[in-house]
């Protein structure tokens, strides 16, 4: 935990603790829970690390950019939850899995094809 850069400072630490608490089934958060919650995004998702860093102007669409970020988080949650929609919904802070299911259908994301 000390070695993690915490570029977002307290907010990033807080979010990591919340995600670790959601992911664990134990009443306590362990080092491996926090490690899983702070895994770096793969390089294919670099645009999500600094979404404001996308060039503006011709060809840029904020709506399209936000949708691509949303789709990536939906895929990531389904992957981390091993396809369990209720768990994926909790990871995303959704109140129920039906909301997640509606978004998966809207964006035509088949959880069985998530790698």
pLDDT in tens, 6-45: 666 677 777 778 877 877 777 888 877 777 777 654 444 5
Alpha carbon 39 to its chain's center: 11
Q: In whole angstroms, give the CA distance from residue 63 to residue 65.
A: 5
62 shares a domain with 105? yes
Q: Over pLDDT 70: what percentage of the chain?
A: 73
Tell me the pTM: 0.54
Co-location of 80 and 66 in the same domain? yes
* 16 plus 35 within the same structural domain: yes
Cα-Cα-Cα-Cα dihedral sign, residues 19, 96, 77, 87: positive
Question: 115 with 79: CB under 8 angstroms?
Answer: yes
CA distance 69 to 33: 24
- Is 70 found in the same domain as 29? no
Find the CATH number of the domain harbouring 69: 1.10.10
Please tell me the predicted confidence (pLDDT) of residue 17.
81
* Cα→Cα distances 83→7, 28, 44, 109, 114, Å: 30, 24, 21, 12, 9
Residues of the domain holding 57: 42-115
Same domain, 57 and 111: yes
Q: Both 67 and 108 in a single domain?
A: yes
Q: Which of 43-52, 65-74, 104-113 has the lowest mean pLDDT?
A: 43-52
* Count of structural domains, the chain: 2
Q: Are 20 and 37 in contact (CB under 8 A)?
A: yes
Give tens-digit pLDDT for 41-55. Answer: 444 455 555 555 667
Let me know whether 47 and 94 are in one domain. yes
Is the same domain home to 72 and 97?
A: yes
Let me know whether 106 and 87 are in one domain. yes
Instruction: Indicate whether 98 and 54 sit together in one domain.
Output: yes
67 compared with 12, residue with greater pLDDT: 67
């Amino acid at each position: 935990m000390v070695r993690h850069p915490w570029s977002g400072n307290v907010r990033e630490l807080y979010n990591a603790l919340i995600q670790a608490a959601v992911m664990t089934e134990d009443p306590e958060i362990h080092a491996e829970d926090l490690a899983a919650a702070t895994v770096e995004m793969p390089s294919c998702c670099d645009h999500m690390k600094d979404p404001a860093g996308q060039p503006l102007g011709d060809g840029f669409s904020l709506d399209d950019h936000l949708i691509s970020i949303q789709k990536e988080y939906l895929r990531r949650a389904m992957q981390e939850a091993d396809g369990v929609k209720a768990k994926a919904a909790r990871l995303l802070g959704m109140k129920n899995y039906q909301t997640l299911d509606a978004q998966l259908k809207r964006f035509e994301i088949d959880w069985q094809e998530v790698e």
